[in-house]
Chain A
Amino acid sequence: MLNYVGILLKELRIHGRGGQGSVTAAELIAVAAFESGAFSQAFPAFGVERRGAPVQAFVRFSDQKIRLRSQIYEPDYIIVQDSTLIKDVPVFSGLKKGGIAIINTEKAEDYQVPEGVRLITLDATKIALDVLGLPIANTALMGAFAAATGEIEFSALESALRDRFPGPLAEKNILAARRAFDMVREGV
């Protein structure tokens, strides 16, 4: 008999621009969540592959097989890869009370987040430039997500990054993720 009730489901929506690695971030977070023991599902808001165009990617986490296939309208978490999106895209739309918004920004502005939402800002682009020499902030934001939400273990994120990137590049990305992870954890 199937268990019809009590399915624990958490949802993440990532906002970024084409080329910033939002889809890769969603995939690697799902891989890390799976390695951490969850059922997970990652998918992009399909088709918009133009560099610089606003894109979305989604992740679901559950303790059971995930059947739902619709996009995510009421997320528990959002990651905003580029704060310039906030004026064009309703990034906070549907964000649940008790949810967490992680925003990559140079200056910690007082963004108008919905009531009961925890706002975390960090300059992930600076971390990426320091560590990778490229303004690709997605791996740093993955570290921040791990620290802020506890949905994925850092060790699982490390192994997901090692799986995806060749040796030295993986280590650099792990370092970027670690810096953001520590920054967010200490900021709590």
Chain B
Amino acid sequence: MALNIGCAAKPGRARDNRTGSWRVFIPRFSREKCSKCGLCILICPEGCISEDEEGMPVPDYDYCKGCGVCADECPADAIEMELEEK
């Protein structure tokens, strides 16, 4: 492949990378313990947690890398990291 002048390229999109496949541990969200504070939605480095109509967090496992930041930060201890079987 010839180089483009000035290392110019069409930009790609992070969405094209299904980073969920990198995951070893998967976060499991407990609807019982969740206080709907929304902190996990804010701090997720991938931005892959959204909110359902009841205000409950919903992870998108296509992109969740399993970093565990949400589980560490959850004030209600409502998120647990489980070894994922693939």
A and B touching (Cβ–Cβ under 8 A):
no
List the interface of chain A (C-beta within 8 A of B). none
